Amino acid sequence: MLFDLDGTLADTIPLIVASYQHAFRSVLAEEVEEARARAWIGRPLLEALLEEDPEHGHALDAAYREWNLANTGRLIRRYDGVPEMLEALDAAGVRTAVVTSKRQETARLALEGVGIDHLVAVVAGLEDTDRHKPHPDPLLHGASVLGADPATCVYVGDATVDVQAARAAGMAAVAVTWGAGEPAALAAERPDALLDDVAALTALLLGRDGS
C-alpha cells in the first residue's frame, strides 16, 4: 500500500494554503485565493511556482519553505482513524510506504507532526526521481524500494495527479475526498475507488473482516 501524504495521511492542507498565501503576499504583494492554492497541491512546489511566475518562482519557493517549516507544528492536523488504519495494516502484514512530492526531510517532519512516523516510511520524495506525478516514476521507485511488483500495489491519494500516476505505474488507484481534490474532478479520472472517509478506506484496504 503506497500513500500520498498531503491531504491523504496528514491534514496539511491549511498549512500549505497559508504557506502559498504568505509567499505570494511577501514576495509579490499579491493575494491568493484558497481554491487557486489548493489546485497546486500534489505537484512539486518549485515546479508549480515557476509555472505561475518564472521570474519570481525561486523567491516564492524560499519564502514558502521558510514560513511552512516555522508553522508546521502550529497548523498541521491529524486525520481521525489514520493511525489506527496504519496499525491494522501493519498487523495484517501489509507493507506500507509514502510516495510524496515533498522533500524527504519535510515529509518526515509532517509524519512526526501527526504522530505516525513510526508506522510508515517515506520511500519516495521529491529528490528521489527526476520526473514527478502525474508521471509514474515516484510510484515505481517506491515499489522498487519495497521490492514489490507495481501490479500488486495500491496507491492512495487525494489529487487527480495521484490517480493519473497510479494508472501510469500500473497500480490500482484509490482516491479520497478529504484532502485538496474536488470530488467531481477525482471521479472524472475513474479511480478504482473514490472514498469519503478513513473508515471506508480502512474497510476497502483490509476487507470488512480485517484480513
Q: Which of 4, 6, 11, 162 is catalytic?
A: 4
Known catalytic membership, residue 4: yes
Q: 138 preceded by cis ω (within 30°)?
A: no
Region for residue 8 given its phi and psi (left: phi exceeds 0; alpha: psi -120 to 50; beta: otherwise): alpha
**Interatomic CA distance for residues 166 and 42, integer angstroms:** 13
Q: Which alpha helices (H) appear in the chain, and where do they start and end? A: 13-28, 34-39, 45-52, 57-75, 82-91, 104-113, 137-146, 160-169, 183-188, 198-206
Helix (H) or strand (E) holding 210: none
In Å, how far are 64, 95, 107, 132 from 90, measured between CA atoms?
Answer: 35, 7, 20, 27
In Å, how far are 53, 96, 124, 182 from 147, measured between CA atoms?
Answer: 39, 12, 13, 33
Sheet holding 193-195, edge to edge: 121-124, 97-99, 2-3, 154-157, 172-176, 193-195
Q: Which residues are catalytic?
A: 4
